[in-house]
Structure 1
């Protein structure tokens, strides 16, 4: 089993910004996220540990792959200046399934609404977005084989996409948010009770990891007022995660917790 020290070394070497390097705890949390993507427990992670560039994130991933800490199949993708580490096989499978089902559970949080609502988006608009992203995923695999990376999604696509919705889909959340950017970048979630769902697990991999510490593999929110409507989707998501979890041995002790928070402002 890979030593956590190797993940810490790779992160400190590749992801340093200015004079600051990542703390051990941040490095290990990032490592757990990358491992979860590699194991197929989640399709992708959005890099937000610091302001490291896409090239730095790519170098970090290559360093892990060179040390055989993760598989060669993982890829780095840049979507509207946001860096993601992606499991292409799982992401492609998820996108294909969405195209077959022709449905995505989307919560509208436009600023003009009194409270969040489940919205029925015209399938053509979101279906075209998913198909275009699927084509990009297939293309990024071909570019990876030719040694060209990270793969950047063209800006013209990003300008027309609802990134809030798209990131929810890419990160494997059971529900995703949307708001009309043409009207306002604000949302109606301020002081709205939100149920935060977290999937946690232990990573037993040597002396650096704190004994008994659980790493957060997923964290997402759902407006409390919509919990009854979204519960079937969440139940299916939990069942699928448990199924995937049983197929790996790196993590143990999966737990899914829910807690309610109310915040003065919520950034999406």
Structure 2
């Protein structure tokens, strides 16, 4: 079997929900994303291809590892029922940088605000969450139970998962809102600048591009976050030059204004 066929077979076997399995194109897109995590181009991938649970995602990951298609550094994280495939080394490095260098802008989008604002009031809480995540990850790796997902449920009940996902996925900006008061936000009809990074996955042949990153920044705050955006782009380009699995990196930006934004 070719490498493409092995990736497709592993996904179809492990990630089936009911009688339905992923299509070949979905399998290859997932494989490209997982490969990007494996080589450190992105620290994590939030699995949303279908309703497969974390155990199934880990089964898929273990299958790829047994076939030596990806490395043992990949781990499945079950965060309150949300499955992420993470590169343990890249996640630890990225979270440490967030704590040490203040490399991520936190944007308050609470529904009571007239417009989004950059906030520093959540820094202490975020550092506490990061430290707790790091402890869970390090303890899990020491136990050597990589055939099972790392489950973080009870501890994350009070976490704003939108914010945490932004941190884990390596975004230079992440949104925060007071979920105790409401899950709504003030981004309705707010001009947003959407940043997207994509690359060509060599395994699937010429022309198969995958989206590595896609995140937004309120246009009014783009200048204030510019240094963090530039640092993110520079670091991504440096990591891209250190690997050979993906080619032709493209980073673009576009403008959107939507009647509602779901976070």
TM-score bracket for this pair, using the shorter chain length: over 0.9
- Does residue 125 (structure 1) correspond to residue 125 (structure 2)? The answer is yes
2:191: which partner in 1? 193
2:232: which partner in 1? 237
- Does residue 150 (structure 1) correspond to residue 145 (structure 2)? The answer is no
Q: Which moved more, 1:252-261 or 1:188-197?
A: 188-197
Note the C-alpha offset of 1:112: 0.8
Across the aligned residues of Structure 1 and Structure 2, the Cα RMSD in angstroms comes to 1.5
Decide whether the 8 Å contact of 2:8 with 2:28 is kept in 1: yes
Decide whether the 8 Å contact of 1:202 with 1:213 is kept in 2: yes
Q: How does 1:211-222 map to 2 (within 5 A)?
A: 211-222=206-217
Q: How does 1:1-268 map to 2 (within 5 A)?
A: 3-102=3-102, 104-143=104-143, 145-146=144-145, 149-155=148-154, 157-206=155-204, 209=205, 211-268=206-263
Describe the superposition over 1:73-116 as per-residue Cα deviations: whole angstroms up to 9, x where unpaired.
21111111101111001111122222223564101111111111
The runs of 5 or more residues in structure 1 that have no matched partner are none
Structure 2-normalised TM-score?
Answer: 0.95
Note the C-alpha offset of 1:35: 0.5
**Mapped partners of 1:122, 1:175: distance in 2:** 13
Distance of aligned partners of 1:68 and 1:267 in 2 relative to their CA distance in 1, 3 Å threshold: same
Decide whether the 8 Å contact of 1:114 with 1:188 is kept in 2: yes
**Mapped partners of 2:129, 2:31: distance in 1:** 30
- For these two proteins, the number of residue pairs brought into alignment is 262
Note the C-alpha offset of 1:213: 3.0
**2:203 counterpart SS class:** coil
**1:41 counterpart SS class:** coil
Note the C-alpha offset of 1:192: 1.5
Q: Which moved more, 1:93-102 or 1:114-123?
A: 93-102
Describe the superposition over 1:35-77 as per-residue Cα deviations: whole angstroms up to 9, x where unpaired.
0110011111110111001111010101111111000121111
**Mapped partners of 2:170, 2:40: distance in 1:** 11
**Mapped partners of 1:94, 1:221: distance in 2:** 19
Distance of aligned partners of 1:251 and 1:102 in 2 relative to their CA distance in 1, 3 Å threshold: closer
Note the C-alpha offset of 1:154: 3.6
Following TM superposition, the consecutive aligned residue runs of length 4 or more in structure 1 with deviations greater than 3 angstroms are none
Structure 1-normalised TM-score?
Answer: 0.93
**1:34 counterpart SS class:** helix
